[in-house]
C-alpha cells in the first residue's frame, strides 16, 4: 500500500472581532503539551497567527481522517484556552490595521525581511498531501504525469473567497496571493531527475530564493521525505473533504507510477495553458469549465468524472473507491467550501462566516 500523509494550516482568529490573533506559539505549545497531540505534530508557520498540523504516515484513509480529527480537536482546544479560535479557511476573512508579526525563527525572519508586503499579506492556509514514491526519478516522472490535473484539484478544494471583509470574486484567493512568490504555480515539465535537481540548484544559485524550501510549486519532490508533495489545495472546511482529496492525490500518484512502469505515453501540457487553467480554477472553482490534463475545456462535472475514471483502478486497489466517489458526488451536489463560505456571508454577514469557518476548524 502506498503511504500518504497530510499537513493542514489554520489561521487563528479573535472570537469577538474575527481579526487574526498572533497567538501561534502559545497555541502550538499548549496543543503539544496535551494528551491528544505530540509536540512534533503541531508546528509554527510563517506568521504568528497561523499553526500547522501534520499527520503520521498513513496506509489508509481511515487513518488520515482519524489523525486530522484528533489534531483539529487538539489545536482547537488549545486555541480556546488561549482566547482565540482556529479557522479552517484558505484565507483570513479580515486583516487588522497592523501586520501580524512574523514567527521568530531565523528563516522566517529572513523571508520577512526579503518580501515585507508579501509576508504581511500571507494570511493564507493550505493543505499539503505527501505520497510515497520509490525513488526520485520515479517522483519526477509522477510530477510530469499529474501536473495537468492540478487545476482540477485546486477547483475542488477552493475555500478562500473572502478577503478584507468582502467577496473577492475568486473561489481560491489563496492561490492568487501565493502566486506572487518568485517560484510558485504549476511545476514545469522535467526531462528527468537530474534536470529537476539542476533547475532547483540554479534557482538557489541565482539568488532569487533563499533556499530550496522556497520552491513553492504546486507539486514538488519533498527534500525531507521520500514523497511527492501536492501543494495546490486550500485547507478544507471539513476533515472528510480533506480525506477525499488525500485519497484522490494518492490514487493519481499510484496511477502515474503504474503508467510509468508500463511505458505509457505522458501528455505534456504547455505551461501557458496550465498557468491559465490554474487561474481559471482559482477564479471559478467548480462553477464553470475546467481544463483536463490535455488542456481542453469541459464542464466541471465531466472533468471530475474523467478524473474518477482515470484513477478508479488505483482507488479500487486501495479500497477507497466507494468512499472517495461518494464524497466527490457530494461535492458536486453541495458545491465547494468556497460556495459554502459565500452562502454564509450572504445570509448572515461576516459574523456568520466566522462562525462557519471556526466551527469547521474545531470539527463541529
pLDDT of residue 48: 97
The answer to the question of residue 359 being in a domain is no
Q: Is 129 exposed, middle or buried (0-12, 13-18, 19+ CB in 10 A)?
A: buried
The answer to the question of residue 160 being in a domain is yes
pLDDT of residue 99: 95
What cell numbers appear for 201 in the block? 540548484
Determine contact, residues 175/215, Cβ cutoff 8 Å: no
For residue 309, give the nearest of 229, 255, 260 by alpha carbon: 255
Q: Is 233 helix (H, G, I), strand (E, B) or coil?
A: strand
| Number of residues that this document lists for the chain | 364
| Structural domain count of the chain | 1
Look at the block and give the residue holding cell 503520521: 56
Q: Is the pLDDT score of 364 beyond 70?
A: no
For the domain that residue 10 is a member of, what is the CATH number?
3.30.590.20
Stretch 259-263: mean pLDDT, rounded? 97
pLDDT of residue 32: 77
The answer to the question of residue 336 being in a domain is yes
| Domain membership of residue 122 as a residue range | 4-353
The answer to the question of residue 12 being in a domain is yes
Separation CA 12–CA 3 (nearest Å): 30
- 77-93 as b/e: b if 16+ CB within 10 A: bbbbebebbbbbbbbbb
For residue 307, give the nearest of 276, 335, 286 by alpha carbon: 286
- How high does pLDDT run on average in the chain? 95
The answer to the question of residue 243 being in a domain is yes
The answer to the question of residue 318 being in a domain is yes
User: Considering the chain, what percentage of its residues have pLDDT values greater than 90?
Assistant: 91
Q: How many CB atoms lie within 10 A of CB 340?
A: 19
Summarised one tens digit per residue, pLDDT across range 135-161 is 999 999 999 999 999 999 999 999 999
Stretch 3-16: mean pLDDT, rounded? 97
Stretch 323-327: mean pLDDT, rounded? 98
Q: How far is CA 215 from the centre of its chain?
A: 15
Q: How far is CA 93 from CA 13, 66, 119, 130, 140, in A?
A: 10, 28, 16, 28, 36
Stretch 68-82: mean pLDDT, rounded? 96
- DSSP letter assigned to residue 236: P
Summarised one tens digit per residue, pLDDT across range 85-122 is 999 999 999 999 999 999 999 999 999 999 999 999 99
The answer to the question of residue 361 being in a domain is no
The answer to the question of residue 249 being in a domain is yes
Amino acid at each position: 500500500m502506498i503511504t500518504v500523509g497530510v499537513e493542514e494550516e489554520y489561521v487563528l482568529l479573535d472570537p469577538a472581532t474575527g481579526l487574526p490573533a498572533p497567538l501561534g506559539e502559545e497555541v502550538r505549545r499548549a496543543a503539544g503539551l496535551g494528551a491528544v497531540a505530540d509536540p512534533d505534530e503541531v508546528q509554527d508557520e510563517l506568521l504568528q497567527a497561523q499553526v500547522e498540523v501534520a499527520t503520521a504516515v498513513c496506509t489508509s484513509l481511515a487513518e488520515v481522517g482519524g489523525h486530522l480529527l484528533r489534531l483539529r480537536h487538539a489545536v482547537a482546544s488549545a486555541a480556546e484556552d488561549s482566547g482565540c479560535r482556529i479557522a479552517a479557511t484558505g484565507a483570513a476573512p479580515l486583516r487588522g490595521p497592523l501586520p501580524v508579526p512574523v514567527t521568530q525563527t531565523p528563516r522566517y525572519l529572513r523571508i520577512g525581511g526579503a518580501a515585507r508586503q508579501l509576508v504581511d499579506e500571507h494570511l493564507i492556509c493550505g493543505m499539503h498531501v505527501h505520497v510515497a514514491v520509490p525513488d526520485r526519478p520515479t517522483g519526477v516522472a509522477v510530477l510530469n504525469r499529474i501536473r495537468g490535473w492540478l487545476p482540477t484539484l485546486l477547483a475542488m478544494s477552493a475555500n478562500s473567497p473572502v478577503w478584507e471583509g468582502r467577496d473577492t470574486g475568486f473561489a481560491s484567493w489563496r492561490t492568487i496571493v501565493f502566486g506572487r512568490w518568485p517560484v510558485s504555480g504549476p511545476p514545469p515539465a522535467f526531462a528527468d531527475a537530474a534536470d529537476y535537481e539542476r533547475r532547483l540548484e540554479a534557482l538557489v544559485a541565482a539568488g532569487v530564493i533563499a533556499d530550496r524550501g522556497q520552491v513553492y510549486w504546486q507539486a514538488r519532490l519533498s527534500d525531507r521525505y521520500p514523497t511527492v508533495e501536492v501543494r495546490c489545495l486550500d485547507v478544507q472546511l471539513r476533515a472528510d473533504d480533506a480525506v477525499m482529496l488525500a485519497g484522490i492525490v494518492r490514487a493519481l500518484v499510484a496511477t502515474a507510477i503504474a503508467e510509468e512502469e508500463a511505458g505509457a505515453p505522458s501528455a505534456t501540457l504547455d505551461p501557458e495553458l496550465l498557468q491559465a487553467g490554474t487561474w481559471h480554477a482559482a477564479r471559478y472553482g467548480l462553477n464553470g469549465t475546467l481544463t483536463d490534463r490535455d488542456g481542453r475545456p469541459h464542464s466541471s462535472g465531466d472533468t471530475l468524472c474523467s478524473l474518477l475514471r482515470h484513477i478508479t483502478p488505483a482507488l479500487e486497489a486501495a479500497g477507497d473507491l466507494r468512499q472517495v466517489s461518494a464524497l466527490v458526488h457530494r461535492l458536486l451536489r453541495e458545491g465547494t467550501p468556497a460556495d459554502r463560505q459565500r452562502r454564509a456571508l450572504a445570509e448572515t454577514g461576516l459574523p456568520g462566516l466566522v462562525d462557519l469557518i471556526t466551527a469547521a476548524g474545531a470539527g463541529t
